Chains A and B, each alone.
Chain A
Amino acid sequence: MTCAEFQRVLPYIIDGGGSAEEQQHLATCQVCSDLIADLRYIAEAAKLLVPMEDPSPKVWSGIQESLEREGMVKPARKHF
């Protein structure tokens, strides 16, 4: 199995693991195992991204105004 062949199936086996032949290639190929390590590292790093920002206060004002316009709530004090 060549690197090109391995990388063609990679999107479908990266989570579940591949066939014996694919695993064999991975065990002996530094390029492909580096690639997988990078891709897994990216996926892991993405999981650690946390919500960092609050929306601006005008989002809440907009919600309030819409609800009031639709008569779903009585006009109220504005917060947030």
Chain B
Amino acid sequence: MPQATNCYRRCIESGSRPEYTNLTTAKKILANGISEQEAIDRAKQGDAECFAALYGLHKRRVYSLCLRMVGNTAEAEDLTQEAFLQLYRKIATFRGESAFSTWLHRLSVNVVLMHLRKKGLPEVSLEQTLEPQNEDGPRRDIGARDNVLAGAIDRVNLGRSIESLPPGYRIIFVLHDVEGYEHNEIAEMLGCSIGNSKSQLHKARMKLRDLLKLSQAQRAARR
């Protein structure tokens, strides 16, 4: 039996396991004993079936990233497609200095950012997405305590609140707090200063805090 077919079948079977993220590349064993590394090596030589298997393994994470960054299904699907096409074209340049998932993730972020820049919308231009400085945040030296959020956030709620952030805030929040990039990496990706990245992240979190408190209050009122 040709190796490719084995690879195909073995990889497919574990295609959409979500819990791969805790494993290192070396330990990532696809079904029936083929490692992700083997699938990568064969995909590099043009094995389309191993490429399909890599798609199966990583599609959910790439799609979720795109969806969170652009906030709309149709665009996220197009971007997922573009990210994997680029993967196919570039996989031979993957040298294994970082984990494959990290490399693919970064490639996908770049595809999304490129798309947003091409659209010419102010989405990546952080300065332009600044809302008028609102001075009515929590800052005060006297007065009653706000309700604190502690324990009140659930995933669905947080996911929805992130979606409703202004695009510039959403991108930086997703990159930093959801996806775990550092400010220096974000500054490099977005072409802004580290200080700018920090202040935008702060504004995004403040905005989310408002949104979450609002939904907390609405839920309390319904009770």
- A residues within 8 Å of B by Cβ? 2-4, 6-7, 10-12, 14, 29-31, 34-35, 37-39, 41-43, 45-56, 58-60, 62-63, 66-67, 72-74, 76, 79-80
Whether B158 contacts A63 by the Cβ 8 Å rule is no
- B residues within 8 Å of A by Cβ? 12, 15-16, 18, 48, 52, 55-56, 59-61, 63-65, 67, 76-77, 80-81, 84-85, 88-89, 137-141, 143, 145-146, 148-150, 153, 155, 158-159, 162, 173, 177-178, 180, 195, 198-199, 201-203, 205-206, 208-209, 212
Whether A63 contacts B198 by the Cβ 8 Å rule is no
Q: Which residue of B lies closest to A65 (CB)?
A: B81
Tell me the minimal C-beta distance from B23 to chain A in angstroms: 15
Report Cα–Cα, A28/B133, bound state, in Å: 27
Tell me the minimal C-beta distance from A51 to chain B in angstroms: 3
Report Cα–Cα, A3/B141, bound state, in Å: 6
Report Cα–Cα, A29/B141, bound state, in Å: 8
Q: Which residue of A lies closest to B16 (CB)?
A: A54
Given A2-B141, A59-B80, are A79 and B52 also a contact pair (CB < 8 Å)? yes
Pick the residue among A42, A52, A73, A79 that contacts B205 (CB under 8 A): A42
Majority secondary structure, B binding face: helix
Whether B138 contacts A7 by the Cβ 8 Å rule is yes
Tell me the minimal C-beta distance from B59 to chain A in angstroms: 6
Whether A42 contacts B59 by the Cβ 8 Å rule is no
Given A31-B145, A62-B81, are A49 and B139 also a contact pair (CB < 8 Å)? no
User: Please, which residues of chain B bring their CB within 8 A of the CB of A30?
Assistant: 145
Given A11-B198, A50-B18, A51-B64, are A41 and B180 also a contact pair (CB < 8 Å)? no
Pick the residue among B61, B77, B88, B137 that contacts A51 (CB under 8 A): B61
Given A3-B139, A46-B177, are A41 and B84 also a contact pair (CB < 8 Å)? no
Report Cα–Cα, A43/B212, bound state, in Å: 13
Whether B201 contacts A11 by the Cβ 8 Å rule is yes
User: Please, which residues of chain A bring their CB within 8 A of the CB of B52?
Assistant: 60, 79-80
User: Please, which residues of chain A bring their CB within 8 A of the CB of B61?
Assistant: 51
